[in-house]
Amino acid sequence: MDLTGKNVVLTGASKGIGREFLHLLLAEGAHVLGVSRSIEKDATLVHERLRVKNADLSRPEEIDAVFEYARGHFGRIDVFVANAGFTYYELLERADWEHIRSIMDVNVTSVIYSAVKMRELYPAEPFVFMATLSAVSFLSLPGYGVYSATKAALRGFFDAFEHELPADQKLLRVYPVATATDFFDRAAQDKPPPPVQSASHVAMKMLEGLKKEKRHIYPSRLFKWMYRLFPWAYGPYLKKRRQELFETRGRPPGEIDERKDEES
């Protein structure tokens, strides 16, 4: 895909991967609408082909407003990049409906809603919908149970939804490993789980994948092939992450339940 003159909506555009990707899109000649909760306050985001809009993506009416704004200024949307998302690093010990829902609304519901909205608006026209999933959509990590569930849910949705689309409507998934941004500060974890990549590296891989319209984009080839060829090797890694989780929460981890899968 040649991005020159293409109209792109990018959520989560004010920080981290999103901000790096925004600058790459502009450098490729795209017109970009950058979206986040407070992006309009950032006076440094100035470019003749950039517009910005605040939006709370947990609210459908604000997502609708993003689409209306983009179409009003651009005419049509060629690419929608669902990059916004957040997590908590936690031991799940108390049933809190709103706590769980707050993550699900942003990480899952808003993405699915936006993808279907593109289909609704352009039933017979080409478009690209890209979403930032995560390596945890394949490999769930202790402390990130709900977050892992959100990304696995998106992977399941895209795997099904793409079979409902014509060939010229593309769904692209990105699976970063931990990225060196303030994402983990909000999650209340001192340091991200290794391996860690830079936001600029992930954004560059996203750009390469978008230009080639790749269905699956793995910024870390090490994770891609290790998980495919040696999934059993992650056992010690998961035990270590579990140990760290309990230690940071001031709790003894106890023994790990080594249940085996049983056939019924």
Q: What is the pLDDT of residue 213?
A: 97
Q: Answer for the pair 10, 36: CB distance below 8 angstroms, yes or no.
A: no
How many angstroms separate the CA atoms of 123 and 179, rounded?
Answer: 35
Q: What is the pLDDT of residue 189?
A: 53
Say yes or no to pLDDT of 104 above 70: yes
Q: What is the pLDDT of residues 154-175, one digit of tens each?
A: 999 999 999 999 999 999 999 9
Domains of the chain by residue range = 7-219+227-248
Q: What is the pLDDT of residues 39-77, one digit of tens each?
A: 999 989 999 999 999 999 999 999 999 999 999 999 999
Average pLDDT over residues 179-203: 70
DSSP string covering 192-226, please?
PPSSEE-HHHHHHHHHHHHHHT-SEE-S-HHHHHH
Q: What is the pLDDT of residues 74-89, one digit of tens each?
A: 999 999 999 999 888 8
Average pLDDT over residues 203-226: 93
Which pLDDT band, with edges at 50, 70 and 90, does 250 fall under? low
Q: What is the pLDDT of residue 253?
A: 55
Q: What is the pLDDT of residues 188-197, one digit of tens each?
A: 555 666 667 8
C-alpha distances out from residue 38 to 52, 56, 144, 230, Å? 9, 9, 25, 42
Q: What class does CATH assign to 7-219+227-248?
A: alpha beta
Say yes or no to pLDDT of 219 above 70: yes
Average pLDDT over residues 213-218: 96
pTM over 0.95: no
191 CB-side CA count, 13 A = 6
Other C-beta atoms lying within 10 Å of the C-beta of residue 98? 7
Q: What is the pLDDT of residue 256?
A: 45
Which pLDDT band, with edges at 50, 70 and 90, does 181 fall under? low
Q: What is the pLDDT of residue 186?
A: 53
